[in-house]
Amino acid sequence: MMTAKPTPARTSRQSQDHARTANALNRPPRHESGGLCQNHESSMAWRHLIASSTEPRVLQGLIGPLFGVLFFFLMFDPRLLNPAYIDWLLPNEDSRMQLIGWSFFRTEPWHLPPGAATQYGLDMGGSIVFTDAIPLFAFIFKIFRSWLPEHFQYMGLWILGCYMAQGAVAWLLSGEITQRLVMRCVIVAFFVTSPIMLNRAVAHHALMGHWLLLAALYLHIRPRERWMPLWWCLLLAVAALVNAYLLYMTTAIWAANLCRQLWIDRVATYTRAVTSIGIVMATLLCTMWAAGYFAIPMRDFSAGVEQYGRFAANLNSFWNPLWFPTVFFSPQPLLPGSEIEGSSYLGVGIMTLVPIAVYALVRRRHDTLSTAAYVPLAIVALGLCLLGLSHRIAWGDRIILTIPLPPSLLTILGAIRSSARMLWVAYYGLTLAVLAIVATRFRPAVATTILLAGLSVQVADAFPRLLSLRQAFQEGFAAKPKGLPSLTSPFWQIAPRHYRRILFVPVAHKPPGYDAFALFAAGHGMAINVGYFARVSNARIEVANATLHEQLSDGPLRQDSVYVFWNGPPIEDSVGPDDGVGVVDGFPVLAPRWFEFDECCREADGLLHHRDFAPSQPTALNATAGVARPTASGHTRATISASPNPVHENPGRTTLTWSTGGGSEGEVYVSINGGREILFAGASSSGSQAANWIGFGDRIEFRLYAGKAHAEPLAAVLVTGERPPRSPAEARESYGVGR
């Protein structure tokens, strides 16, 4: 019987194809003189199809990225690729954070470190890396900022690039498993359609860089090369410029690779290993410094003792689809608030291939396959899984086991409060192992059939969910943002001419309404002292608040700053005779030197008032739920009401609605916790305006006055901030959105 040679002779292209096919199938090549002439034409056509491709490598290398491009356009609106289209980033607070971070970063001059944010967050000590705005792209596009349009976003380009890179690296991985075209395409399709990657498209765009994990796995399974340490340096540096969680996981895979070289393959000496560690760590630390990781003290990397385990993995993660059901599985219960972190759905196709792969290993257990090389990676993946589950083990929406840990250790682990993401190494490692075992432990025709069947099941199972996600993306990215206040007052047309800063009082992380002010500040070249960051320095916030209190109590006020009071009455001890005080777009505002500007009376008459502009006598009107007492002038139908009242969020929002009743003009003033009245809404016969700064324990009285004299009260309403009643389950555990 004829046998195929390992390397075919120089013959025609067709003879080479048949020789490679026969070699792969352990069958003799087909010759016209006979041999296998009895085989059916269809059988030979199938074998030829699954055989190794002889197309140029450059053309083959495009297959993976093309898979990514195709899947992107199947799932997302092409408008996301329009750099000037920023509206799709506004509905979600996390994507707004990214847009705001980039908007400030692009206008800042270059400085050291390059990633530090000096205008956004001011004394909080932020940086571009803590806004999840992908420093890798931010640095690149900032170089060309002079040519960029006023509104510019790169998140759509990033998502497309991630899918292209996912396909490209998956293609490289498939080449380490097989050279057969169909099987390589199937392997690429599994990775490109990864459910856990698609979930992050909602708002966690930096976390869509799963191709970094695939690249780390690729470097791990590749034979050692001379330049391997440099490749690891490059990969870890890029991961640091994308997202800290991806950096944690790629670093863990690098550590597994180093252990493999030392103790399994024995291709590295301890001296070489120490040198490699030194080079990689030096590169990584320099990159982290440049990105702004150290813009805050390292102790603030931890979110606190109570944060670890807050967004942990669930024991049902691998078979729990998120948000929408698949054909075979419906979303399972998860701990409240941990939904997007608690799900790492594998897909029915991979689940089906797992027992087949186990059978293949058992059936051919005598095959010479070294599994020892993958032991360090398996240990790292298992360790990350345990880290992802945290010390509070959850099954569904219940915590079934709590492992006591010392507070010092919990403080360190607080740096990875969204620990569920640590499962991703095991997720992709398991997927790769299953596909590799099936592709190599069966005859090529059988393996190809099994993989195609698995992919078909994977896609069929996910199809309803993909359609639902596609619709959700289309609607969510086009929806108008809810709860994002707009700065419509004429005051904000004047403020940028005279002020360089917006100072929230007190300084806090992500105070209500900050995003509208931050977008305004970024667009007008102003700085702001608050923001939304992945990590903040609480110690610096305390210092900043002490400084603000000193300015407002003892003076002097910063003459280049507008003070916005979002959680309490203005402190007027340092207010001068020319400073303006009032409520602008629902927020109490203090504007130093306001009455020195011509525009205060010409363009913005009545927006703010002097400190001493208040009724000479206390009003006799009681605050009610909007029912006014008759007054001397006969106003009997004047009303003012607030909804909701009481307010059950801290800080919360209520909407004031008023009417003078007779069509005459009136003004609304507010007294915060018994403080001095300040103007809330200008002259109008009726209107509605939101107050976004009601806190627990607050007693806020809104009073409607006739005309502009601030003398004749018409109606009043008392708004209180109260903690909402909580169920026993909510009292035991309270969860929010994890970062």
In this prediction, residue 678 carries a pLDDT of: 76
Residues in the chain, total: 739
What is the C-alpha to C-alpha distance for residues 19 and 25, in angstroms, rounded to an integer? 10
In this prediction, residue 12 carries a pLDDT of: 43
Mean pLDDT, range 153-175, rounded to an integer: 97
**Residue 346 lies inside a defined structural domain of this protein:** yes
**Residue 96 lies inside a defined structural domain of this protein:** no
Domain end: 612, 631, 656, which one?
612
Angle of helix 155-175 versus helix 181-192 axis, rounded to 10: 140
Residue 626: band (very low, low, confident or very high) from pLDDT cuts 50, 70, 90: very low
One domain, residues 588 and 659: no
One domain, residues 339 and 437: yes
One domain, residues 427 and 487: no
DSSP 714-729: EEEEEEEB-PPP--HH
H/E run at residue 381? helix 375-389
Q: Does 34 have pLDDT greater than 70?
A: no
One domain, residues 373 and 501: no
In this prediction, residue 412 carries a pLDDT of: 92
In this prediction, residue 733 carries a pLDDT of: 40
Percent of the chain predicted with pLDDT > 90: 53
Amino acid, single-letter form, for residue 535: R
Mean pLDDT, range 25-42, rounded to an integer: 38
One domain, residues 601 and 644: no
What is the C-alpha to C-alpha distance for residues 723 and 737, in angstroms, rounded to an integer? 20
Amino acid, single-letter form, for residue 645: N
Percent of the chain predicted with pLDDT > 70: 83
One domain, residues 306 and 435: yes
Mean pLDDT, range 195-222, rounded to an integer: 96
Q: Looking at the 3D structure of the chain, how many domains does it have?
A: 4
Number of C-beta neighbours around residue 306 at 10 A: 12
DSSP 455-506: HHHHHHHHHHHHHHHHHHHHHHHHSPPSS-----STHHHHHHHH-SEEEEES
One domain, residues 395 and 321: yes
**Residue 422 lies inside a defined structural domain of this protein:** yes
Residue 216: band (very low, low, confident or very high) from pLDDT cuts 50, 70, 90: very high
In this prediction, residue 623 carries a pLDDT of: 41
In this prediction, residue 225 carries a pLDDT of: 78
Please, what's the largest Cα pairwise distance for the chain? 117
Q: Which residues contact 267 (CB under 8 A, 6 or more apart)?
A: 224, 261
One domain, residues 312 and 413: yes
**Residue 467 lies inside a defined structural domain of this protein:** no
Mean pLDDT, range 389-400, rounded to an integer: 93
One domain, residues 305 and 411: yes
> In CATH, what number is assigned to the domain containing residue 712?
2.60.40.10
Token digits of residue 169: 């690296």
Token digits of residue 250: 């790629």
The pair phi, psi for residue 700, each rounded to 5°, is -110, 120
Q: Does 618 have pLDDT greater than 50?
A: no
Q: Does 299 have pLDDT greater than 90?
A: no
Mean pLDDT, range 289-311, rounded to an integer: 88
In this prediction, residue 52 carries a pLDDT of: 58
Q: What is the pLDDT of residues 97-128, one digit of tens each?
A: 999 999 999 999 999 999 998 999 987 768 99
Residue 604: band (very low, low, confident or very high) from pLDDT cuts 50, 70, 90: low
**Residue 645 lies inside a defined structural domain of this protein:** yes
What is the C-alpha to C-alpha distance for residues 148 and 400, in angstroms, rounded to an integer? 53
CA 49 to chain centre: 42
| Closest alpha carbon to 685 in 645, 711, 714 | 714
**Residue 706 lies inside a defined structural domain of this protein:** yes
One domain, residues 395 and 438: yes
In this prediction, residue 321 carries a pLDDT of: 94
What is the C-alpha to C-alpha distance for residues 444 and 47, in angstroms, rounded to an integer? 8
In this prediction, residue 371 carries a pLDDT of: 79
Tell me how many helices (H) and strands (E) the chain has.
Answer: 24, 14
What is the C-alpha to C-alpha distance for residues 60 and 38, in angstroms, rounded to an integer? 33
Q: Does 338 have pLDDT greater than 70?
A: yes
| Closest alpha carbon to 609 in 682, 528, 696 | 682
Angle of helix 181-192 versus helix 444-478 axis, rounded to 10: 30
- Boundaries of domain holding 372: 296-445
Q: Which residues contact 652 (CB under 8 A, 6 or more apart)?
A: 512, 644, 692, 694, 695, 721
Q: Which of the residue ranges 15-19, 73-77, 87-91, 542-546 would you say has the lowest mean pLDDT? A: 15-19
Q: Does 146 have pLDDT greater than 50?
A: yes
What is the C-alpha to C-alpha distance for residues 142 and 144, in angstroms, rounded to an integer? 5
Number of C-beta neighbours around residue 62 at 10 A: 14
DSSP 232-258: HHHHHHHHHTT-HHHHHHHHHHHHHHH
In this prediction, residue 577 carries a pLDDT of: 86
Q: Does 54 have pLDDT greater than 70?
A: no
Q: What is the pLDDT of residues 563-591, one digit of tens each?
A: 999 876 666 678 888 898 888 888 889 99
The answer to whether 390 and 309 have CB atoms below 8 angstroms apart is yes
Amino acid, single-letter form, for residue 708: K
**Residue 94 lies inside a defined structural domain of this protein:** no
The answer to whether 444 and 365 have CB atoms below 8 angstroms apart is no
The answer to whether 562 and 585 have CB atoms below 8 angstroms apart is no
Which carries the bigger pLDDT value, residue 706 or residue 662? 706
Mean pLDDT, range 538-550, rounded to an integer: 89
Number of C-beta neighbours around residue 723 at 10 A: 11
Q: What is the pLDDT of residues 57-98, one digit of tens each?
A: 778 889 999 999 999 999 999 999 999 999 999 988 899 999
The three-state DSSP-derived secondary structure of 9-67 is CCCCHHHHHHHHHHHHHCCCCCECCECCCCCCHHHHHHHHHHCECCCCHHHHHCHHHHH
Average confidence score pLDDT of the chain? 84
Q: Which of the residue ranges 310-319, 619-628, 679-688 would you say has the lowest mean pLDDT? A: 619-628
Q: Which residue has the tokens 């398996």?
A: 378
Domain end: 594, 612, 630, which one?
612
The answer to whether 716 and 704 have CB atoms below 8 angstroms apart is yes
Domain end: 397, 430, 445, which one?
445
Half-sphere exposure of residue 277: CA atoms within 13 angstroms, side-chain side: 15
One domain, residues 514 and 388: no
The pair phi, psi for residue 563, each rounded to 5°, is -100, 125
One domain, residues 433 and 300: yes
Q: Which residues contact 625 (CB under 8 A, 6 or more apart)?
A: 641, 645, 717
**Residue 655 lies inside a defined structural domain of this protein:** yes
In this prediction, residue 484 carries a pLDDT of: 61
